Amino acid sequence: MITKEIASVQNKIRIQLPSITSESMILGILLTLVGGFLDAYTFIGRGGVFANAQTGNMVLVAIEAFKGNWNQVLLQSLPVLAFMAGVIVSEAMKKNNFSFFISNSKGTILALEIVILFIVGFIPYTISNAFVTITIAFVTSLQYCSFKKLADSPYATTMCTGNLRSASQAAYAAITKKDREAAKEAVALFTVIFAFIIGAFLGGLLTISIGTHAVWIADILLVLSLVLLDIG
């Protein structure tokens, strides 16, 4: 009798708790916190470079090629190539539904991120910053390619330009057309943009305070994301 009552309570709890998916708001907030954190970590602690987005690196490649600095061309190309490698690995894992010991391929990608960033935390400042930024470019590429939707809205967890455009468009539609769905989209996107800013603030603050080990804070957020995704 008691066992049946406990089971009934457990079923009610399951019904009441919202399912956590790769498109859930809570997961989007955690992942954009990580995105902002890693950008600040590489910029402040690893040579003044933003590893998440590759536009700046491609501009630098072009500038160094114009100057004839071919060693720098190669060096600035490496994060771009690492980002491309991350895209390929992510797509291959999704295509083959590679999940290893985790329930799905997206969870496996989070686990891979966690392992790589944990190792990065041991790399001292005496090691070339280029090695770290290349590694983080690979990690952020995995995340960028694997988590691309917030509810029904496309978004990015590792950069803000597209999110800012979409949020502004949705806000405009909400105001001019009294569109409630657009208003919800705008709120959701502005929320993750704010999370990115908070992540960058924490990344900068903790990198200055802790040093190379600060990246483990991002790891904690990824572990929480993995747990939520796995139990969802």
> One digit per residue, pLDDT tens: the chain, 232 residues?
444 544 554 454 444 545 778 789 999 999 999 999 999 999 998 877 778 888 888 998 999 999 999 998 988 899 899 999 999 999 888 887 776 666 678 889 999 999 999 999 999 999 988 899 999 999 999 999 999 998 888 999 999 999 999 999 999 999 999 999 999 999 999 999 999 999 999 999 999 999 999 999 999 999 999 999 877 6
For residue 13, what pLDDT is reported? 41
pTM: 0.87
User: CB–CB of 215/120 below 8 Å?
Assistant: yes
- Partners of residue 150 on adjacent β-strands: 153
Of 222, 225, 195, 199, nearest to 42 (Cα)?
Answer: 199
* pLDDT score for 47: 79
Residue of 229, 79, 39, 80 whose CA lies nearest to 147: 229
Give me the pLDDT at residue 94, please. Answer: 82
Q: In the prediction, which pLDDT does 57 show?
A: 84
